[in-house]
Amino acid sequence: MSLFTRVARGRLAAWLTVVAALVVGAAVFGLPKPDNPAPVSATGLSVEWQSTQVERLQDQLPSSEVQPAVVVVSRDDRAPLTESDRTALDGASAALARFAVGGRVSPAQVSPDGTVALVAVPLSTAEGQQKVAEQVGELRTALADLPDALTVAVTGAPAFTADLTKVFEGADVTLLLVTAAVVALLLLITYRSPFLWIVPLLVVAATEQLTLRAVDTIVPAFGINLQEGAVTGIASVLVFGAATDYALLLIARYREELRREEDRFTAMRAALRRTAEPILASGSTVVLGVLTLLLSEQENNRALAIACATGVVFAMLSALFVLPAALVLLGRGLFWPFVPRVGSPAREGRLWGRLGAAVVRRPLPVAALATLLLAGLALGGLGIRTGLSETEQFRVKPEAVAGAETLARAFPAGTTQPVAVLTNPGAAQAVLAAAGAVDGVASARPGPAGERVAQVDVVLEAEPGTAASDRTVTALRDAVAAVPGSAPPTVAGAEAPEGALVGGTVAATYDSEQANTRDLRLILPIILLLVGAVLVLLLRGLVAPVLLVLTVIASFFASLGAAWLLFDHVLGFPALDSGVLLLAFVFLVALGVDYNIFLVTRAREDARRTGTRDGMLSALRVTGGVITSAGVLLAAVFAVLGVLPLITLTQIGIIVCVGVLLDTLLVRTVLVPALAFVLGDRFWWPGRIRRDPDAPASEPAGTPAEPVGAHD
């Protein structure tokens, strides 16, 4: 590890490292920002999927760049609309014509019970989402003059786009400030020093900003569309958590070495020699784990893979180069008022020592009880529901959702977003008849047509994104594909269709759910194999890696069950978003194994001197404080995702938060040590621990070092 120890060779080397880091950072910020590639589709799915093929074929239609915003009007008391209400709406409809493509809107449609009216305003989407959001805002302003007794809402696809854009305005800044505040508070509690917490926080914050700027360049360079908000938000949280964890590990070992060495540069070199391997192993595991998302069907997941991998690489580099240089330049006084001196006593990790002693007395019953606890929590997920409808995506209900709910009271729920069936003009009438005969279809009518492509607009009875809607989409696809000669032209890169194709927002949502299921089946075993391979290489054995992977899997199911109980009974979430399972699993497996790596690599190091039993006890005492601090911090940082406006991000944050806490407080603290005590030296099989009684002790005079705030 000489490459890393060179940072602490002396004052000059440390200064050169800091200067080099500043130069590299300036170079990254100075990189030209490339144009963001257009998304492969509205959902990020490839042309393998029908909804994407329909989206491509719609470019051949005269109205390919037009989407209707739906103005929904009802009375506050839900009574039927009066004649004066309808007259006011007719007057407003005339004013809305200036927003419409073609300069005109259709007359208002009134529901059979007379309580709700709608006006469809075709908006141009040619200038992108931002322009659509502006048009929707102007449309809403123009409707403000309707009588006070009326409730007016703009919904439909353009309105959902506008509301999604609006709820993310300023979200990145909010996320950064809240995350930084959480990290600062936990570092203050951990170190109880007025100065020490500032250094890692500044390094971590700079790393996070550098990551986001690099991601702006790297992701588009791979030809992948970067959707800011969800992708950058998760990447930001991951960088803050991982970089701070690595900083805690390094500082804990540096403090330990300062009690042995008078020269702080020598102490830092010793700390780097001992921490570089677990940090690199941990970071590599996370990088490999998130890179499995490159196999996802979802373009957003592929962007997330590159963004998160970039961030973790930067986190490792900052922990192994920049932070050590800053610490040695600032000297021992940085730890004031708890300055570590050579020979000074370090307070024992009595809590962790007592816990280890309790586990070693009855390791088999302890392991069984811990396993039963994880299994019990996992049972909480037996009734889990997946799949959020479009109106259930937001934590705070925006106007588009309120309008869709009002519309669903009096019109078919799918009115705002008709399903698009694409066929060739010669088969349009036959496809229209087949679509109208499908159970769950409220209506079918001819849509726009071009020379080679014709569209049939189908309104479903079910709310978009629900199980009933999915069933209708499946039945509709079967029905229209069976119409002889109904296939539209073949999309470039796709196989020739057998018949008419079904797309639109509703069908795209269904395709996304199917893609998530496919991703789960493909990526889950791959990430487990990758993590297992890293552990085998690191520990040079098989038993320990297999057990560690099994504990991480158990922790995932336990966290999922516990989180679902919280979602269902406390937060009132109707279901789990279909994309959450994959992301939560990837992050929990990659991050959860980190703490086991920190513990087990230290146990293996100490076992050379004292044997497996005492080595694990020593490792538990020495790492107990720092790993607990790191785990609590990472859990808190992921919980911060709850400040973002989408239920999906809140769910990911809570599941990962619960899982990290279980890994930190139960799996790493109790279950893994108990398994090691039960197996003894067989824990490392087929590898061996080469006993070396003269190996350097982990702690001077039997006194382990850990963050000050972690003592009992």
Q: For the residues 14-28, what does the mean pLDDT come to?
A: 90
Chain centroid, CA 466 distance in Å: 23
In DSSP notation, 236-274 reads: HHHHHHHHHHHHHHHHHHHHHHHTT-SSHHHHHHHHHHH
CA atoms within 13 A on the CB side of 229: 15
Q: What pLDDT digit, counting tens, does each position of 338-381 carry?
A: 777 877 666 545 677 788 888 888 899 999 999 999 999 999 98
**Is-contact 298 516, C-beta < 8 A?**
yes
Res. 561: pLDDT tops 90:
yes
Q: For the residues 261-279, what does the mean pLDDT come to?
A: 87
pLDDT at 711: 36
- Pairing between strand 454-460 and 441-449? antiparallel
pLDDT at 700: 37
pLDDT at 112: 87
Mean of pLDDT over the chain: 85
For the record, the structure tokens of 134 come out as: 């502006």
Listed in sequence order, the DSSP H helices in 117-229 are 129-142, 157-167, 171-191, 198-221
Highest mean pLDDT among 417-426, 587-596, 601-610, 643-652: 417-426
Instruction: Name the residue with higher pLDDT: 401 or 345.
Output: 401
Cβ neighbours, 10 Å, residue 547? 19
In DSSP notation, 395-428 reads: SS--HHHHHHHHHHHHS-GGGGSPEEEEE-GGGH
CA atoms within 13 A on the CB side of 539: 32
Q: What percent of the chain has pLDDT over 70?
A: 95
| Helix, strand, coil tally for the chain in percent (to 5) | 65, 10, 25
pLDDT at 694: 53
75 forms bridges with which residues in the sheet? 150
User: Rounded to an integer, what distance in angstroms lies between the CA atom of residue 276 and that of residue 361?
Assistant: 33
Q: Looking up tokens 């196999």, which residue turns up? A: 295
In DSSP notation, 534-568 reads: HHHHHHT-SHHHHHHHHHHHHHHHHHHHHHHHHII
pLDDT at 649: 86
| Domains of the chain listed by start with CATH number | 1-30+174-336 (1.20.1640.10), 65-167 (3.30.70), 348-398+514-689 (1.20.1640.10), 418-503 (3.30.70)
Res. 696: pLDDT tops 70:
no
pLDDT at 292: 93
pLDDT at 101: 83
Highest mean pLDDT among 128-137, 363-372, 409-418, 464-473: 363-372
In this structure, what are the phi and psi dihedrals at residue 168, rounded to the nearest 5 degrees? -90, -5
150 forms bridges with which residues in the sheet? 75
User: Rounded to an integer, what distance in angstroms lies between the CA atom of residue 572 and that of residue 563?
Assistant: 12
Chain centroid, CA 5 distance in Å: 34
Q: Which residues contact 444 (CB under 8 A, 6 or more apart)?
A: 421, 432, 435, 436, 456, 457, 458, 459
Measured distance between the N- and C-terminal CA atoms of the chain, rounded to whole angstroms = 34
This prediction has a pTM of 0.84
In this structure, what are the phi and psi dihedrals at residue 343, rounded to the nearest 5 degrees? 80, -5
pLDDT at 29: 87
In this structure, what are the phi and psi dihedrals at residue 454, rounded to the nearest 5 degrees? -130, 145
For the record, the structure tokens of 281 come out as: 């192993």
User: Rounded to an integer, what distance in angstroms lies between the CA atom of residue 654 and that of residue 566?
Assistant: 9
**Is-contact 113 366, C-beta < 8 A?**
no
User: Rounded to an integer, what distance in angstroms lies between the CA atom of residue 578 and that of residue 390?
Assistant: 12
pLDDT at 349: 58
Q: What pLDDT digit, counting tens, does each position of 22-72 carry?
A: 999 899 888 888 877 777 777 788 888 999 999 899 888 887 677 888 889
Q: Lowest mean pLDDT: which of 95-104, 145-154, 283-292, 335-344?
A: 335-344
Instruction: Name the residue with higher pLDDT: 707 or 285.
Output: 285
Q: Name the residue among 534, 666, 510, 691 with its Cα closest to residue 605.
A: 691
Res. 701: pLDDT tops 70:
no
pLDDT at 712: 34
Res. 501: pLDDT tops 90:
yes
pLDDT at 355: 84
pLDDT at 556: 93
Res. 704: pLDDT tops 80:
no
pLDDT at 423: 93
For the record, the structure tokens of 467 come out as: 């199980």
User: Rounded to an integer, what distance in angstroms lies between the CA atom of residue 275 and that of residue 656?
Assistant: 25
Q: Looking up tokens 């698009």, which residue turns up? A: 420
Buried b or exposed e, range 77-104, using 16+ CB within 10 angstroms: eeeebeeebeebbeebbeebeebbbeee
Cβ neighbours, 10 Å, residue 367? 20
Torsion of the alpha carbons at 566, 567, 568 and 569, rounded to the nearest 10: 40
Cβ neighbours, 10 Å, residue 686? 9
Buried b or exposed e, range 228-239, using 16+ CB within 10 angstroms: ebbbbbbbbbbb
Q: How many residues does the chain have?
A: 712
User: Rounded to an integer, what distance in angstroms lies between the CA atom of residue 337 and that of residue 341?
Assistant: 12
pLDDT at 1: 45
Classify residue 343 as left (phi > 0), alpha (psi -120 to 50) or beta. left
Confidence of residue 2 (pLDDT cuts 50, 70, 90): low
Q: Which residues contact 362 (CB under 8 A, 6 or more apart)?
A: none
Q: Lowest mean pLDDT: which of 40-44, 662-666, 687-691?
A: 687-691
Q: What pLDDT digit, counting tens, does each position of 174-198 carry?
A: 777 888 888 888 888 877 888 888 8
Q: For Cα atoms 21, 333, 636, give the angle at the middle one, nearest 5 degrees.
A: 65
For the record, the structure tokens of 686 come out as: 């087929």
